[in-house]
Amino acid sequence: MMRHLQKYSPILPVLLAYGVLLGIGLAYPGKWQLIAQLAFYCALGQAFNLFMGMTGYVDFGYVAFLGVGTYGMAVSIYFLYDKGLGIGLIFIGLALAAVFSTGLSLAVGAVALRLRGAYFAIATIGVNEGFRYFVEGARIWNGADGMIFSRHLRKAVGRETAMTLSTQWADILVFGVAVLAAILTLVYMRNKVGYALTALREDEDAAKVMGINVTKFKIIAFITSAVLAGLLGASAWALKLTYVYPEDVFEIHYTVEAIIIVLLGGAGTLLGPIVGALIYGASKYFLAIVLPGFQLLIFAPIIIVIIVLFPEGTVGILKKKIRGTALEKFII
């Protein structure tokens, strides 16, 4: 039992980080929006890392999973608001978000996960745009006009609850997604999935020869990462904003942000995405004040610098430094 607990001790710094963030947010309501934004980046980074960091494959169309998740929540509220489901709408919305993102990840994965390296990246690069144009072109769910459902939400759960849902619970749900992503990452790392992913990231052919069904494990990581993204979209975008436009939720810049966060913190590590998200989120917040509009111009060259000079990222470097010390048990 003790040993079992020890195996999962690296979750402690993660929970501590989220606890502190949440505490600051609750203590200083004026900073709640900043905290919520940081939590969003943490969740985004951890969900993205679960696939990119652990497999070494990069999905340039990742934001599409957030997009369809947003639609999952939107569809639930927009079409079912008068069925007397009350707060149950939110759970149906989350479930739909998970279903939509699983569906999309299966469709994309069926093609892309058969392909290696560069071809995988090529297969994913159009997913977000392709899906956006599908929604607009086939006029699905109002097409390019999007869906505005604040009125529906108010009718379903009442004005007060609707308000609390989008100003507080949406952000708390984001924290929930972030914690869930961290727990899943650690559970994978400590089980066969994690070992299989490490092996295939290092050498896919050798991994196969070792008896690893690489396609199966890639699919597991891909779907998990996609569902987390779907839940994130459902809470951070749909529930919080109570509207959805295809051109917003399939916007490639969120994929860029996810890449920056994971690389800054350290791909394939547990704590990395949190560190990356805090560095990125905080600098973006201050840059928006000091140099509005320059964030990406500053961060894009930083990605290149990291790739060339520090491919392990912050936590990767830290892990090397603390090898052999007591901290090793907690920071992975």
Partner 1 sequence: MPLLKVRNVTKRFGGLVAVDDISFEIRHGETMAIVGPNGAGKTTMFNLINGVFLADEGQMIFEDVDVTHFPSYRRAHLGIGRTFQIPRPFASATVRENIAIGGMFGAAGSEVNVDEALEMADHYIELIGLTPHRDKPAGGLTPIEKKMVEIARALAMKPRLLLMDEAMAGMNPTDIDKMVEFLKDIRDKEGIAIVAMVEHIMRAVAGLAERVLVMHQGAKLVDEPTQEALSDPKVIEVYLGKPAEEFHA
Partner 2 sequence: MIFEQLSGNLLQGVILGGVYGMATMGLSLIFGVLKVVNVGHGAFIMVGAYVALILFQTLGIAPPLAVPVALILGMALGMLFYYTAIKKLLKGPELASLLATFSIGVILEEVCKQLFTSEARGYHWGLDKLDLGFTVLPYSKLIAFGGSILVGLLLYLWFHKTRAGMAMRSVVEDDEGAGVCGINVDWEYALSFSIGIGLTVVSGVLLTMFIPVGINPYMGGSYTLKAFVIAVLGGLASPYGAFFGGLVFGLIENGSYTLFAQIPGLEPFAMTRFFSFVMLLVILLIRPTGLLRTK
Q: Does 219 bind partner 2 (CB under 8 A)?
A: no
CA contacts within 13 A on the Cβ side of 164: 5
Q: How far apart are CA 119 and CA 102, in angstroms?
A: 22
Comparing C-alpha atoms, which of 258, 307, 261, 312 is closest to residue 282? 261
Using CA atoms, how far apart are residues 165 and 171, in angstroms rounded to an integer? 9
Closest CA to 258 of 128, 90, 88: 128
Which string of x and - marks every residue 75-104 that binds partner 2 (by CB under 8 A)?
------------------------------
In angstroms, the CA 328 to CA 56 distance is: 23
Half-sphere exposure (Cβ direction) of 269: Cα atoms closer than 13 Å: 29
Smallest gap, in angstroms, from Cβ of residue 191 to partner 1? 6
| Site membership for partner 1, residue 196 (CB under 8 A) | yes
Of these, 16, 122, 206, 327, which contacts partner 2 (CB under 8 A)? Answer: 122
What character string, x for contact with partner 2 (CB under 8 A) and - otherwise, covers 27-66?
-------------------------x---xxx-x------
256 binds partner 2 (CB under 8 A): yes
Residue ranges of alpha helices (H) inside the chain are 2-7, 11-27, 32-55, 63-80, 88-112, 117-125, 127-137, 150-157, 159-164, 170-190, 192-202, 204-209, 214-232, 240-241, 246-249, 253-265, 272-290, 295-309, 313-321
> Position 114: which residue type?
R
Identify what 130 binds: partner 1, partner 2, none; CB under 5 to 8 Å per kind. Answer: partner 2
307 contacts which partner out of partner 1, partner 2, none, CB within 5 to 8 A by kind?
Answer: partner 2
Task: Considering only the stretches 172-180, 197-205, 234-242, 246-254, report the one whose residues sit in contact with partner 1 under the rule CB under 8 A.
Answer: 197-205
Hey, what are 31's tokens? 């900073």
Site string for partner 2, 179-218 (x = CB under 8 A): ----------------------------------------
297 binds, among partner 2, partner 1, none (CB under 5 to 8 A by kind): partner 2
When binding is defined by CB under 8 A, the residue of 107, 140, 205, 286 that contacts partner 1 is 205
Contacting partner 1 (CB under 8 A), which of 206, 288, 291, 305? Answer: 206
Q: Which of 202, 291, 311, 329 binds partner 1 (CB under 8 A)?
A: 202
| Phi/psi at 8 (5° precision) | -100, 15
CB-CB contact of 280 with 210 (8 Å): no
Burial of 325: CB neighbours in 10 Å, binned 0-12, 13-18, 19+: exposed
Choose among partner 1, partner 2, none what residue 31 binds, the Cβ cut-off being 5 to 8 Å by kind. Answer: none
Smallest distance, partner 2 to C-beta of residue 90, A: 30
CA distances from 122 to 57, 83, 114, 125, 268 (A): 11, 43, 12, 5, 22
**CB 208, min distance to partner 1, A:** 5
Region near partner 1 per CB under 8 A, out of 74-82, 211-219, 233-241, 287-295: 211-219
Residues that bind partner 2 (CB under 8 A): 52, 56-58, 60, 108, 110-112, 114-115, 117-119, 121-123, 125-127, 129-131, 133-134, 136-139, 143-144, 252, 256, 259, 263, 293-294, 296-297, 300-301, 303-304, 307-308, 311
Residues that bind partner 1 (CB under 8 A): 190-192, 195-196, 198-199, 201-203, 205-214
